[in-house]
Structure 1
Amino acid sequence: MTNTKRAFPKALKIVLILVLIAGAAVAWIGYQTFLAPSVTEEQEYLYVNTGDRYEDVLAKIKSQKIVKNVRFFDYAAQAMDYPTLVKPGRYKLTSGMSNRRLIGNLRGGYQEPVKFRFENIRLKENFAALLGENFEADSTAFVEILNNGEVAEHYGFTKENFFTMFIPNTYEIYWNTAPDKIVARFHDEYNKFWSTGRREKASNLQLSPQEVSILASIVKGEALHKDEMPLIAGLYLNRLKKGMLLQADPTVIFANNDFTIRRVLNRHLTIDNPYNTYRYKGLPPGPIMLPSIASIDAVLDHTEHDFIYMCAKDDFSGYHNFAKTQAEHLINARKFQRALDARNIKR
């Protein structure tokens, strides 16, 4: 009896130790699965595409080495029912983030918006490419919308001037937002930008907001310095009032579709294209680039003067000499032409 009594406590101790070991193992696995630092420094974001299944997400997490232990992540995901709650988006990854927190963000669709900024965009295709780089949809989807006359008319534009609806600025938009919804967002911002005050200024110039933006695109094409924009805008407005040809070199470059041109020559001026303001009076049908906010406001708040001619200064500072008469202008033009010749700039 005595030996039996002694053996029983010893066996109990062994069982208790084994239970404790098993419990510690379970606790360790549970901690590693849910609470331990898991996310690595390999990636800044996890992109879950529209239509992705859980298997697709798990494959990305494995191939991109997003977590330290994929098996633990899978355990946590299964326990938190994530396979049935996959939501597309661009999810911020923080080094050391636990599986529980990561999966909570993925389950809830708590993605971080893209801070999308654009400026100095010349063509619709350039803009579409930039959109395609920053959002889930391919650039071709954006090109189709930007060139769609029905979409343009829906927002009150023509196919030619639709590009003026996109005001260069910084926008926060979710990565997986559909292209048509992104365009709708830009329209909302356009309406906010064109406040009552700006619209009144445009009306006083006898121009629509679209026409102001078209002129602003020419001003931006001419001006290397922001402080000169109001002066240049005033010159083109003077030409419009007098019914003169705008004769803006940037429109000729656009019409020729050759943006390597540094010196506009007579052969460039002969192109029969509505964007060639050496041949066609008034404003072109659309912008020659996306105008900046500064160039739009330069038109609306232009400098009042009597200049109708301008020519780049021969010091290549990026500024212009302005003139009221053609005789004065020809003197300025000859100076600049001689400077071009001296630098062997032939085209």
Structure 2
Amino acid sequence: MTEPLLPSAAPEPPREPVSGWAFWRQVAFWVMMALLALAGTAVYRLLYQPNITAAVDGPAYLYIRPGADLDEVFDSLRQPGLLARPVEFGVLAHLRDLGAKDNPTHPGRYTLPAGLGNLDLLRLLESGRQDTVAFTLKPFHYLPQLPRQAGRQLYLDTTQLHKLLADNAYLVGRYGLDTATVRTLFIPGKLRLFWPTPAAAFLDSVAARHRRFWTVARRRQANFLKMSPVQVAVLASIVQRETAQPTDKPLIAGVYLNRLRQGQPLQADPTLLWPLHGLGTRKRVLNVDKKVDSPYNTYRHKGLPPGPITTPFPQALDAVLRPAQHKYVFFCARPDGSGYSDFAETFAQHKLNARRYQHRLDSLKVLK
């Protein structure tokens, strides 16, 4: 019995040699892949690779003023140490037409976190998501000092602010205050504001802080004293100029309130310096100052002056709203130079306190 024959394997077809065209076609393919990889790397670098450098003194900020064009923005971004590759950002910004009519720059202050890439930086500027600035309102004695103070911290039209502060009709209509009492609107402290802030918006922000301070409880305390918030602020401005010691403020407020109740003139030395523009430049009051012809002369005129002599801190306002209860109507500086005051109910006791203080001054003159 014979075994069946198995079919033999088919012979492999002969391999054709690779032609020159096929070889170069493969070379071209790999070259194209390499170019695409390089292009992808370049695109990634252009869009996403960190371009904002880390600053040693905190976050970096970009300030864009109203009306700034793209060149001004580039000039700000080219400041040393801000962008690692400013040319790349410029290329991308031009490709997206940043600064054009349909894609304008937005004014403001922008925080630029370290490691931010070009695309995220561009989106931030296109969105207009600006920061707020921690504006510190400091005490001031005279209205012209305010625009200068605000202009140092904000991009603000100081000329317009001057005009608004001098416009009696505007102040009365919007805030119920005139040019003399508008200074009671300003309570020193911190505000969060946009860097480019219009003058009217600045005043509205100050007014909002004023409303937040004057709570129902504080207004009730003012009513108990038979005083308006403006009158409280006027008296608080005097108290603030009389002492820097927190524990003495309620005591001095009580002295002045006692004088008002008894119909006595306040006889507050700081009010003599205000019409002479001496607040902040003079420490002592002379007898000749008591003759100044001004409604702020509380030696010649009874009651409160027509406006504050400075912008009082919240602590001074609260000292008037919660004064110390006592019968003192006199006070004078202690001779130890501590900044505290000695208080008296009678003029005779006050003269003894004043004599001790004067004796110290005379001793210091001898030592000099």
Normalised to the residue count of structure 1, the TM-score between the two structures is: 0.92
SS in structure 2 opposite 1:343?
Answer: helix
Cα distance in 2 for residues equivalent to 1:46 and 1:190 = 31
What is the rounded CA distance, in whole Å, between the counterparts of 1:218 and 1:293 in structure 2?
A: 13
Q: Which residue of 2 aligns with 1:332?
A: 353
CA distance in 1 between counterparts of 2:106 and 2:85 reads 22
Q: TM-score, normalised by structure 2?
A: 0.87
Percent sequence identity over aligned pairs: 33
CA offset digits 1:268-311 (Å, max 9, x no partner)? 22222222212222111111111010111110111111111110
**In structure 1, what is the equivalent of residue 148 of structure 2?**
129
Distance 1:128 1:322 in 2: 39
Moved more, 205-214 or 257-266: 257-266
d(CA) in 2 for partners of 1:330, 1:48: 61
Q: Does 1:160 align with 2:177?
A: no
- Equivalence for 1:241: 261
Higher mean C-alpha deviation, range 241-250 or range 256-265 = 256-265
Select between 223-232 and 62-71 the one with higher mean Cα deviation.
62-71
Give unpaired runs (5+ residues) of structure 1. Answer: none
1:198 aligns with 2:214: no
Could you say if the C-alpha distance between residues 65 and 51 of structure 1 is closer, same or farther in structure 2, counting changes exceeding 3 Å? farther
Code of the aligned partner of 1:282? G
CA contact under 8 A between 2:47 and 2:119: conserved in structure 1? yes
Deviations 1:171-214 (A, max 9, x none): 11111121101211221221222122211211221211011001
Task: Supply the distance in 2 between the matched residues of 1:220 and 1:253 (Cα, whole angstroms).
Answer: 14
Residue type matched to 2:170 in 1?
A: V
Residue in 1 that maps onto 2:7: none
CA contact (8 A) 1:119 1:292 kept: no
CA distance in structure 2 between the partners assigned to 1:28 and 1:122 by the alignment:
61
1:220 to 229, 232, 240: 240
Q: Quote the Cα distance in structure 1 between the aligned partners of 2:116 and 2:141.
A: 41
1:2-17 maps to which residues of 2 (within 5 A)?
5-17=18-30
- 8 Å CA contact 2:158, 2:199 repeated in 1: no
Residues 217 and 289, structure 1, Cα contact 8 Å, conserved in 2: yes
Aligned equivalent of 2:323, options 299, 302, 325: 302
Deviations 1:101-124 (CA, angstroms, capped at 9, x unpaired):
211111111111011222333332
Higher helix share: 1
Structure 2 residue matching 1:226: 3-state secondary structure: coil
Alignment of 1:1-347 (within 5 A): 5-41=18-54, 44-63=60-79, 66-83=82-99, 84-154=103-173, 155-258=175-278, 259-344=280-365
- Residues 300-332 of structure 1: per-residue CA shift (max 9 Å, x gap): 111111111110001110100111111111111
Tell me, in whole angstroms, the C-alpha distance in 1 between the residues paired with 2:344 and 2:202.
45
| Amino acid across the alignment from 1:54 | L
Distance 2:365 2:209 in 1: 46
Q: CA–CA distance in 1 between the matches of 2:149 and 2:295? A: 27
Q: What is the SS of the residue equivalent to 2:63?
A: strand
Secondary structure, counterpart of 1:188 in structure 2? helix
Q: CA RMSD in A?
A: 2.2
Seen in structure 2, the aligned counterparts of structure 1 residues 223 and 81 have a Cα distance that, compared at 3 Å, is same
